[in-house]
Structure 1
Amino acid sequence: MKTDKITIKKGKLKGEIDAISSKSFAHRALIMAGLSDSPTEIFINEFSKDINVTIKALEDLGAYIERYEDKIILIPSKKKLNKAIIDMYESGSSLRFFTAVSTHFAKEIKIIGEKRLSQRPNLALIENLRENGLSIDNDRLPFTISGDFLGGNFKLSHDESSQYITALLLAGSKSARTFIELDNLAESVGYVDITIDVLKDFNVDVIKEGFSYKIENPKIISPKKYYVEGDWSNSAFFYGANLLGSDIKINNLNFNTSQKDKEIISIIERIKEHKNNGKTLKIDISQIPDLAPITAILLTTLDKPSYIVNGKRLRIKESDRLISTCQMLNNLGAKAEIRGDDLKVEGKIKGGVVDSFNDHRIVMAASIASNLASEDITILDYKAVNKSYPNFFNDFEKLGGELR
């Protein structure tokens, strides 16, 4: 029985907040700092569960880390460990990244994690690593890795996780030559662009050749100080609230970012345009899967059916996000229907009880739905929000949201 629940009163939000540090940039910067040969001071204004997973893994792999309220100082280990055990808990990013990079830190590494994480895809990455010299004793968590990542040639399908590409690029930053060949444009390619940006900040250039990526003879140099930019994925929920009548100013965001979730701005504009033009709106979510739950809430403002399309990748998130988003809408009084990898959305938000499915983005989307509701909204398992945004409800109350 779920006991952690929160009830949100209907109403609008108003005020000013700072965007939290980008989880995507933080993961990558922390790992690159761990691979460097000199200390790095990394400024992070929100330490989510996933970021803490990566920090703890680096400590378990030999790095010395000093923690402060808004930063960490990471001093990399000068020698390789013989053995290590690292726990990925529920962090899919940490799992993929450390599957590739961990042998730079230790000769033998056992990787463990929660049950849901063991069910998330990782096999294509594991098989590529095996083909290029690593020994991995199982196809799913838990598994033990040994050997040396020396780079090599890797082949991936475009519709597999972009985190595989990032994992290999991070590992390749400390190898002679790494070539990653794709058969088409990668899904969620924006996350690869973030990786390329972070590697460049650590003096490593990635060469893009068509749909493929190459690193040759890299030399990692720490920038000494690294400021993690604001997160568009989580800020998108407050941008969505503004479409629903709230008045929120969001600071600490880079408008020239490589984060694809900045796309929330154009999604909002498209919704505004479609309110009176009689056309059916379809939002392609393939490159921006983290925006699906809040986009679904926003689509209920249209007086006609609309669609989130190409949502195949939603099925392998913290929850099956096609199912959890669909159920969220239906429980709140709207009407949603899954059609293959698409989601049809119609009807209006009223209020009700939502199961988070232990998915942080369902928690935040359902909370923002209170801007539309005529009744209270109760969210079960609301602490799932700690995965990416532990202070979400503090900020929500700061903006005038009423909780109990």
Structure 2
Amino acid sequence: MEKTVKPVKRIEGSLRVPSDKSVSHRSIILPSLAEGESVIKNFLKAGDTLTTLNVYRKLGVDIEEKDNVIYVKGKGLEGLKEPDDVLDMGNSGTTTRLTLGVLAGQNFFATLTGDDSLRKRPMKRVVDPLSEMGAKVDGRKEANNLPISIRGGKLKGISYFNSKMSAQVKSAILLAGLYAETPTEVVEPIVSRDHTEKMLNWMGANIEIDFMTDGYKVKISKTDRLKPIHINVPADPSSAAFFAAAASIVPKSEIILKDVMVNPTRDGFFRKLKEMGADIEYKNKRDEAGEIVADVIVKYNDLKGVKVVKEEVPSMIDELPLLAIVATQAEGETVITGAEELRVKESDRIKAIVENFKRLNLEIEELEDGMVIKGKQKVKGGVVDSYKDHRIAMGFAILGLVSEDGITIKDADCVYISYPDFFKHLEKVSK
């Protein structure tokens, strides 16, 4: 479907955006390996997370929903069953890569596939370390692309340097490490999203976390059992970011974003927005099952251009296209570098931003690992392509709020992947 977003006078109100996608995925995957029943409240029901739920049902896990609460009856670390058919991963890279880690430890055979987009995304970054641990993996293009078949079994631990700082790679290795006969460790130059290790620690895994002077190390040893959990999934900072951006660029705006997870590995966008001059405050900070949660209050203020460097990228990787959009309304130039990972997301997000800026006659310079955005640009309006990427669609919807004639987004229904009610919520706070 096409969707047109028109200019508004201000953004105002209070929202509880959908629950965090990363934590929702893990709240199904890890409890499936626990002994006993886990209770998950505020689970995100969106395309990718429902894929995870369906995949683990096909692996023999009893997952029920009652009164908007999910009950996962874990099978234990050795209790999953061989699937009867090919496992369809839809569009979800998280489901695919983490599940490959789980399957590496299972003594059975499984084949994974996905949609057109997912079949183009790189998998060798996970396949290589899992193969080194002892899993037998094969697939298209030397198992860099789905479909991929895996036969798990007896694993040995490895020491892996996660140079791309990919949380999905780290998570896959740690999940396989639960089964390895010798300890497994992952070292990162900068800590990537740490939800997997936080949840594993909470569930009683044999895990050690070390913040070193020159990086980050997490070590996991063979674990006999994981305890079930009760979790209230916090609001997704990546979804909240779109409304924070809207309030930052539409004059006279103020919005309260409730229950947002502000884990330091995830709130880089809010910190960078603050550096640009946005009026942002965390209120009612609290601990929710090992994650820091707060109400985020954002008020309009004049913005200035900033630089984003490689070390900052992991904590805001999904929000960088949105930051480029915000940068069009800031004073001066914004330079984003060290973000080549954007090229292998649901779309090539650098290319998607650059091409759409050109369609809107906005000035931008494409870099191999980022982009340079000119500030204080007038946005007349026009038609953009979402490239069927939810974050591109939502980002240009936010830009439509400050356009003169509105912005029409092709294939805007792709927002269902992470935020089914996005346009309804945008309308609710638009005045």
> Quick one: distance in 2 between partners of 1:298 and 1:251?
22
Q: What residue is the counterpart of 1:170 in the other structure?
A: 175
Q: What residue is the counterpart of 2:241 in the other structure?
A: 236
Cα 1:266–1:181 change in 2 (3 A) is: closer
C-alpha displacement of 1:113 = 0.9
Q: What residue is the counterpart of 1:5 in the other structure?
A: 2
Preserved contact between residue 151 and residue 176 of structure 1 (Cα < 8 Å): yes
- Say which SS state the counterpart of residue 40 (structure 2) adopts: strand
Structure 2, unmatched stretches of 5+, are 279-300
> Quick one: distance in 2 between partners of 1:398 and 1:176?
53
Aligned pairs (5 A) from 1:7-86: 7-11=4-8, 12-68=10-66, 70-77=68-75, 79-84=79-84, 85-86=86-87
Q: How many residues align?
A: 390
Q: What residue is the counterpart of 2:283 in the other structure?
A: none
C-alpha displacement of 1:366 = 0.8
> Quick one: distance in 2 between partners of 1:195 and 1:45?
16
Residues 1:251 and 2:258 are matched in the alignment: yes
Identity %: 27
Correspondence for 1:384 among 383, 401, 414? 414
Aligned-pair Cα RMSD in Å? 2.4
Q: What residue is the counterpart of 1:299 in the other structure?
A: 327
Aligned pairs (5 A) from 1:254-273: 254-255=261-262, 257-258=263-264, 260-272=265-277
- Say which SS state the counterpart of residue 231 (structure 2) adopts: strand
Cα 1:280–1:227 change in 2 (3 A) is: closer
Cα 1:348–1:69 change in 2 (3 A) is: farther
- Say which SS state the counterpart of residue 26 (structure 1) adopts: helix
C-alpha displacement of 1:143 = 1.9
C-alpha displacement of 1:70 = 2.8
Residues 1:286 and 2:313 are matched in the alignment: yes
Preserved contact between residue 390 and residue 414 of structure 2 (Cα < 8 Å): yes
Cα 1:82–1:297 change in 2 (3 A) is: closer
Residues 333-386 of structure 1 show CA distances to partners (whole Å, capped at 9, x for unaligned) of: 421120221201113322211100111111111111123211111000001111
- Say which SS state the counterpart of residue 204 (structure 1) adopts: coil
C-alpha displacement of 1:45 = 4.6
Residues 130-175 of structure 1 show CA distances to partners (whole Å, capped at 9, x for unaligned) of: 2222111221211211131534114344126331111111232354
> Quick one: distance in 1 between partners of 2:175 and 2:339?
27
Cα 1:350–1:68 change in 2 (3 A) is: farther
Residues 189-219 of structure 1 show CA distances to partners (whole Å, capped at 9, x for unaligned) of: 331x222111122122532355432112434
Q: What residue is the counterpart of 2:282 in the other structure?
A: none
C-alpha displacement of 1:69 = 5.5
Residues 1:353 and 2:383 are matched in the alignment: yes
> Quick one: distance in 2 between partners of 1:318 and 1:62?
29
Preserved contact between residue 134 and residue 145 of structure 1 (Cα < 8 Å): yes
> Quick one: distance in 1 between partners of 2:59 and 2:350?
36
C-alpha displacement of 1:51 = 0.5
- Say which SS state the counterpart of residue 304 (structure 1) adopts: coil
Bigger CA drift: 235-244 or 220-229? 220-229
Q: What residue is the counterpart of 1:327 in the other structure?
A: 355
Bigger CA drift: 344-353 or 379-388? 344-353
Letter in 2 for 1:380: K
Letter in 1 for 2:430: G
- Say which SS state the counterpart of residue 38 (structure 1) adopts: strand
C-alpha displacement of 1:399 = 1.6
Preserved contact between residue 63 and residue 75 of structure 1 (Cα < 8 Å): yes
Correspondence for 1:179 among 184, 189, 196? 184
> Quick one: distance in 2 between partners of 1:127 and 1:303?
45
Correspondence for 1:159 among 160, 164, 174? 164
> Quick one: distance in 1 between partners of 2:89 and 2:126?
16
- Say which SS state the counterpart of residue 372 (structure 1) adopts: coil
> Quick one: distance in 2 between partners of 1:217 and 1:145?
21
Q: Name the structure, 1 or 2, with higher relative contact order (CA <8 Å, separation 6+).
A: 1
- Say which SS state the counterpart of residue 313 (structure 2) adopts: coil
Residues 284-337 of structure 1 show CA distances to partners (whole Å, capped at 9, x for unaligned) of: 352121111210111111233221221211101111010111223333342112
Letter in 1 for 2:276: I
Letter in 2 for 1:190: S
Q: What residue is the counterpart of 2:371 in the other structure?
A: 343
Preserved contact between residue 156 and residue 181 of structure 2 (Cα < 8 Å): yes
- Say which SS state the counterpart of residue 200 (structure 1) adopts: helix
Cα 1:37–1:392 change in 2 (3 A) is: same
Cα 1:299–1:177 change in 2 (3 A) is: same
